[in-house]
Amino acid sequence: MPRPPSAMRRHILGSALRLFAEHGFKGTSLHDIAASAHCSKASLLYHFASKDAMLTELLTPPAEGLSALGEQLAALD
Protein backbone atom coordinates (compact mmCIF):
# COMPACT_ATOMS: atom_id res chain seq x y z
CA MET A 1 0.00 0.00 0.00
CA PRO A 2 1.52 3.38 -0.99
CA ARG A 3 2.39 5.85 1.72
CA PRO A 4 0.21 8.98 1.88
CA PRO A 5 1.94 12.14 0.68
CA SER A 6 3.70 14.20 3.33
CA ALA A 7 2.37 17.56 4.44
CA MET A 8 5.29 19.30 2.69
CA ARG A 9 4.61 17.42 -0.54
CA ARG A 10 0.94 18.47 -0.43
CA HIS A 11 1.98 22.06 0.36
CA ILE A 12 4.34 22.13 -2.63
CA LEU A 13 1.61 20.74 -4.89
CA GLY A 14 -0.83 23.38 -3.65
CA SER A 15 1.68 26.12 -4.40
CA ALA A 16 2.41 24.65 -7.83
CA LEU A 17 -1.29 24.38 -8.66
CA ARG A 18 -1.93 28.00 -7.71
CA LEU A 19 1.06 29.27 -9.68
CA PHE A 20 0.26 27.13 -12.73
CA ALA A 21 -3.27 28.55 -12.70
CA GLU A 22 -2.02 32.14 -12.34
CA HIS A 23 1.03 32.11 -14.64
CA GLY A 24 0.73 28.94 -16.69
CA PHE A 25 3.04 25.94 -16.62
CA LYS A 26 5.73 27.59 -18.76
CA GLY A 27 5.45 30.85 -16.84
CA THR A 28 6.17 29.17 -13.51
CA SER A 29 9.69 28.24 -12.49
CA LEU A 30 10.90 25.79 -9.85
CA HIS A 31 12.23 28.83 -8.01
CA ASP A 32 8.74 30.39 -8.02
CA ILE A 33 7.21 27.22 -6.59
CA ALA A 34 9.90 26.86 -3.93
CA ALA A 35 9.49 30.49 -2.87
CA SER A 36 5.70 30.15 -2.69
CA ALA A 37 5.99 26.93 -0.67
CA HIS A 38 8.60 28.52 1.64
CA CYS A 39 11.16 25.82 0.96
CA SER A 40 14.47 25.56 -0.84
CA LYS A 41 14.71 24.41 -4.43
CA ALA A 42 16.70 21.41 -3.13
CA SER A 43 13.82 20.47 -0.82
CA LEU A 44 11.37 20.80 -3.69
CA LEU A 45 13.53 18.51 -5.84
CA TYR A 46 13.76 16.02 -2.96
CA HIS A 47 9.97 15.62 -3.15
CA PHE A 48 9.57 15.88 -6.94
CA ALA A 49 11.98 14.96 -9.73
CA SER A 50 10.88 17.90 -11.90
CA LYS A 51 8.20 20.47 -12.63
CA ASP A 52 6.74 17.95 -15.10
CA ALA A 53 6.41 15.42 -12.27
CA MET A 54 4.40 17.95 -10.25
CA LEU A 55 2.08 18.60 -13.19
CA THR A 56 1.61 14.87 -13.75
CA GLU A 57 0.71 14.35 -10.10
CA LEU A 58 -1.75 17.24 -10.22
CA LEU A 59 -3.44 16.01 -13.42
CA THR A 60 -3.60 12.27 -12.67
CA PRO A 61 -6.64 12.26 -10.30
CA PRO A 62 -8.83 14.40 -12.61
CA ALA A 63 -7.77 12.32 -15.63
CA GLU A 64 -8.64 9.09 -13.82
CA GLY A 65 -12.01 10.56 -12.82
CA LEU A 66 -12.78 11.53 -16.41
CA SER A 67 -11.77 8.09 -17.62
CA ALA A 68 -14.08 6.43 -15.09
CA LEU A 69 -16.91 8.76 -16.08
CA GLY A 70 -16.32 7.94 -19.75
CA GLU A 71 -16.58 4.22 -18.96
CA GLN A 72 -19.83 4.76 -17.07
CA LEU A 73 -21.28 6.82 -19.90
CA ALA A 74 -20.26 4.25 -22.48
CA ALA A 75 -22.22 1.60 -20.57
CA LEU A 76 -25.43 3.65 -20.85
CA ASP A 77 -27.88 3.05 -23.67
On whether residue 13 sits in a domain, the answer given is yes
On whether residue 1 sits in a domain, the answer given is no
Kindly report the CATH number assigned to the domain that includes residue 64: 1.10.10.60
Per-residue CA distances from 58 to 10, 15, 47, 73, 77 (Å): 10, 11, 14, 24, 33
On whether residue 50 sits in a domain, the answer given is yes
User: For 1-30, how does the pLDDT look when each residue is reduced to its tens digit (9 = 90+)?
Assistant: 445 568 899 999 999 999 999 999 999 999
**Interatomic CA distance for residues 41 and 19, integer angstroms:** 15
Residue 39 lies in domain: 7-75
User: For 34-64, how does the pLDDT look when each residue is reduced to its tens digit (9 = 90+)?
Assistant: 999 999 999 999 999 999 999 999 998 776 7
On whether residue 2 sits in a domain, the answer given is no
Quickly state the pLDDT bin for 31 (edges 50, 70, 90).
very high
**Total count of domains within the chain:** 1
Per-residue CA distances from 77 to 24, 32, 66, 72 (Å): 39, 48, 19, 11
On whether residue 70 sits in a domain, the answer given is yes
pLDDT of residue 4: 59
Cα end-to-end distance, the chain, whole Å: 37
